[in-house]
Amino acid sequence: MKSVRCLVTGAAFAAIAAGWSGAALAQETVTVWFTKGFYKGEDDALLAVVDKFQKATGVKVDLSLYATEDCVTKSVGAIEAGTPPDVGFCTTYDFRTTGKWAFDGKLEDVTDVIEPMKAEFQPQALATTFLMNNKTGKKSYYAFPVEQQMMHITYWKDMLEEAGFKESDIPKGWNGYWDFWCDKVQGSLRAKGKRIYGVGHPMGIAASDTFYSFLTFANAYGAQVVDENGKIVLDQPKNKAAMIEAVKSYANIFQRGCTPPSSVNWLDPDNNVAFHNRTTVLTHNATISIAAKHLDDMNNPALTAEQRAQAKKNYEDNIRTAEFPLKPDGGVMPNLAAVKTAVIFADAKNKKRAKEFMAFLLKDENLRPFVEGSVGRWFPTTIAGAKSPFWTDGKDPHRAIVHKQYSDGTVPFQFVYNYNFTTVNAENVWAKAVNRVVQDKIAPDVAVDEMIARIKQIAG
């Protein structure tokens, strides 16, 4: 397992500006594990924060950067061994571990860090870090909301035009929207002899893209799964009926031949690959990383001038980021947001300095460059960050849409209210229900009954 370490020592005994008093002992160390950035700008911004913190405090930061999967597995192993780092930030903690760790008493209560800056965070983002601890029997702040993501639509504008349509032709309503891409756009391109699919629709059980995309459909239909106390309410008639409609809608795109047959086996990168290969016209994705790849390419000196020029044209002209259509009832859909969480472990050796480091990182002048270093892959969790010109100056069409989506409102994942939904998502009961319909040919209501029964077994 590879890691990148940053061990620069600053001036000893310097006072910090994060709100805690006292001087750091020479060579005192705080151990920090982070997911390695998707883009170089993220890592550069983090290393700059580390350098500033060390110079301000004299505390040495032992920083390790790990690949996404390695970051989580190493963290889990370290907790089980009783040797966790002081600070952990892996971009899948929220989906897989944060809620359970908080419930099991594995995380340090960080209310003393959060409270002084509470007003600086977007309320919905902050709410996802207010978690239940079964040992204390109450909720508290057990994580830091660093950045967040949500689901977007991405499509090829030039392929839409090749099919004979303009962007103004795209319907706003739910059913009309999917009919347009599946019947009109795909139909027109097929009539030209092109083996192209209207939608790249994640269906694979092993893909987190599938449960994120499916839960967006469930959200559109108003299928409430749990209440704010963590009680399962999906079996209530109204919610069950809504979930059946969501399963029907999600399965229908596959059933009508609008997504590649291989999508039932797709892993997370595969909808991106199909889109970049132009075998699909549209896909839904939990970040704007598809468009951002072309932004990165157009500024990549390792590519040829021709390649950079094509990437620039793709980013600025050919690729569009868009919101989801209106809900089936005609309303605007609040977007399902996943907040990426940093934590301090209960068994950490230097919790005091860990809190100081996180308070330092969360300062706007430090956190903003880190989030913006992802060139739009992640959205800020702070109010000031969301108002940054990076998002609001209107110069970048993709970021402008992302900002509008967050302005329309967000809702959290179910695991915020019931930590067992990290297991529900890992098992991907949502994708299993859809695949029972499209592959095993069972009725959607039967698939939802099975889904509800399994959810109750896991999280009831």
Domain locations in the chain?
4-142+337-399, 152-334+413-459
The pLDDT tens digits for 331-344 are 999 899 999 999 99
Q: Given its phi and psi angles, is residue 66 left (phi above 0), alpha (psi -120 to 50 degrees) or beta? A: beta
Which of helix, strand or coil describes residue 355? helix
* CA 295 – CA 303 distance, rounded (Å): 12
Q: Are 101 and 107 in contact (CB under 8 A)?
A: yes
User: Which pLDDT score is estimated for 27?
Assistant: 63
Name residues whose C-beta falls within 8 Å of residue 396's C-beta, 6 or more positions apart in sequence: 376
**CA separation, residue 332 to residues 88, 172, 173, 261, 327 (Å):** 36, 10, 10, 31, 6
Closest C-alpha to 210, from 155, 283, 274, 298? 283
Q: What is the pTM of this model?
A: 0.90
Instruction: State the CATH class of domain 152-334+413-459.
Output: alpha beta
User: Which pLDDT score is estimated for 7?
Assistant: 36
Name residues whose C-beta falls within 8 Å of residue 324's C-beta, 6 or more positions apart in sequence: 151, 153, 216, 220, 284, 333, 335
**Cα angle at 150 between 72 and 369, to 5 degrees?**
75
Q: Are 433 and 244 in contact (CB under 8 A)?
A: no
Same fold for the pair 4-142+337-399 and 152-334+413-459: yes
Backbone φ, ψ for residue 115 (5° rounding): -55, -45
Structure-derived torsion over alpha carbons of residues 415, 369, 362, 422, reported in degrees to the nearest 10: 10
Q: Is it true that domain 4-142+337-399 has CATH number 3.40.190.10?
A: yes
Where b means 16+ CB within 10 Å and e means fewer, 2-27 reads: eeeebeeebeeeeebebeeeeebeee
User: Which pLDDT score is estimated for 441?
Assistant: 97
| DSSP, res 317 | I
Structure-derived torsion over alpha carbons of residues 211, 213, 218, 220, reported in degrees to the nearest 10: 160
Closest C-alpha to 341, from 197, 81, 144, 158? 144
User: Which pLDDT score is estimated for 9?
Assistant: 34
Q: Which stretches of the chain score pLDDT less than 70?
A: 1-27
